[in-house]
Structure 1
């Protein structure tokens, strides 16, 4: 029951993380900057320049927005292309991760035997992790580009942008994906580290390997001193002398016979 609840919780958390990643690709204000006092007029007090993965836009103080869509693929900035590619690769891997985990979850009746379902869940957890790494690499690349321009010396005509809400939402989504992958892996860690049995098959028979020297498979059982004496490597003469020194008790019934 606990395994089932953990897997359901991991499925909800990881799915929410992928939903956050998907939303950031369509959101505006990936980067934004504010410019005040432009145009030499008191009416135009402030203007905003902002961008996302698909267009650059300008919004004036009257809330009128003018946008310019990015042209064909090969004329877009290299880092924007890289961010797009990493996010799309991560989402593709995440799709297969969600499918594998859904089929392999303990609460579903598809996927085959329990061991097969555990392997599917473990594969889905690995896919979640790989997809999350791809996504967080995309956001870090975008952050690095913005920070590099922001902390560089001022150059006329070059705008210094700030990070927008989609970046932070995407980082939260990556954290949720990693957390969900960990929850999945915890429930099926026996796939990687199976239980080791102490039994060995020798000559067609099965024998239990003792856990340590001087211990038997029966807890609390200590061999008698006589057994230790016989099990030691003594000679036949010593054993015969031992039998002479040990008194033999004969019951009354045997004596009568």
Structure 2
């Protein structure tokens, strides 16, 4: 009972961690501050430029912000396409991880047997890990691209800084990975039992069972053999007694 309680609270903690991580990852999708640059000129010409997966924005010193989506999807680089795909994959897998974990946790009692619930929770933990790694790869790759462009003296374009969305995404991805690891650790023993716990033909347990079933047969055979010997001894004694009585009569 104590072990079940510990597992239940661990699953709740892992689920809450993954849920907050997934919310943080989802919040970075519409956030424009993936990268930004400051153009510090005079008071009248200063402006800030920032961009994300979907659009570029420009904000002047008056507070007016103008955003423009990318002109053509086919003209985008493979880097931007892969980052989009990984971010959407992180959001989708995190959603399905939440559904699986809610069904399989011990405190919800929505599933079937203990083994079935553990397997569903294990699947949810794996899905959360995939979501966390997809997000971590996206944000790390984006940050590394910004760093390479910033330190490259031959890069002629605008040099950007790391935006706030990257740090939020890193935090959410770490929560997803940690929560998924906790769910996997506390459900793997019930979801995937070891081979020593399974009954196989010719195993030691089967041999013991066979020996147990053979004991009544051996006992029955011994009793029959003992009764046969006793009956033969009784008949021999009777014959001897009859022979003695006939001789004595003669």
TM-score > 0.5, shorter chain as reference? yes
Q: CA deviation at 1:173?
A: 0.5
Give the SS at the match of 1:205: helix
Q: CA deviation at 1:114?
A: 0.3
Aligned residue number for residue 159 of structure 1 = 158
Matches within 5 A, 1:36-185: 36-37=40-41, 42-44=42-44, 46-156=46-156, 158-185=157-184
Q: CA deviation at 1:60?
A: 1.2
Out of 21, 37, 43, the position equivalent to 1:17 is 21
Q: CA deviation at 1:196?
A: 3.8
Q: Which runs of 5+ in 1 are unaligned?
A: 208-257
In the TM superposition, structure 1's runs of 4+ consecutive aligned residues that sit over 4 Å from their partners are: none
Give the SS at the match of 1:202: helix
Aligned residue number for residue 10 of structure 2 = 6
Give the SS at the match of 2:15: helix
CA distance in 2, matches of 1:145, 1:204: 65
CA distance in 2, matches of 1:206, 1:15: 54
CA distance in 2, matches of 1:54, 1:163: 17
Q: CA deviation at 1:72?
A: 3.7
Q: CA deviation at 1:108?
A: 1.2
> How many residue pairs align between the two structures?
202
CA distance in 1, matches of 2:84, 2:78: 10
Q: Which runs of 5+ in 2 are unaligned?
A: 198-202, 213-250
Give the SS at the match of 1:68: strand
CA distance in 1, matches of 2:173, 2:185: 19
Given that 2:149 and 2:155 are in contact with CA atoms closer than 8 Å, whether structure 1 keeps it comes out as: no
CA distance in 2, matches of 1:107, 1:204: 38
Which of the two has higher C-alpha Rg? 2
Given that 1:91 and 1:131 are in contact with CA atoms closer than 8 Å, whether structure 2 keeps it comes out as: yes
CA distance in 1, matches of 2:181, 2:120: 15
CA distance in 2, matches of 1:141, 1:193: 38
Q: CA deviation at 1:109?
A: 1.7
Task: Provide, for residues 85-124 of structure 1, a one-character-per-residue CA deviation record: whole Å limited to 9, x for no partner.
Answer: 0111122222221111111100112110000000111111
Q: CA deviation at 1:144?
A: 1.9
Task: Provide, for residues 31-54 of structure 1, a one-character-per-residue CA deviation record: whole Å limited to 9, x for no partner.
Answer: 0011111xxxx4425211111111
Cα RMSD of the aligned pairs, angstroms, is: 2.0
Residue 200, structure 1, aligned to residue 205, structure 2: yes
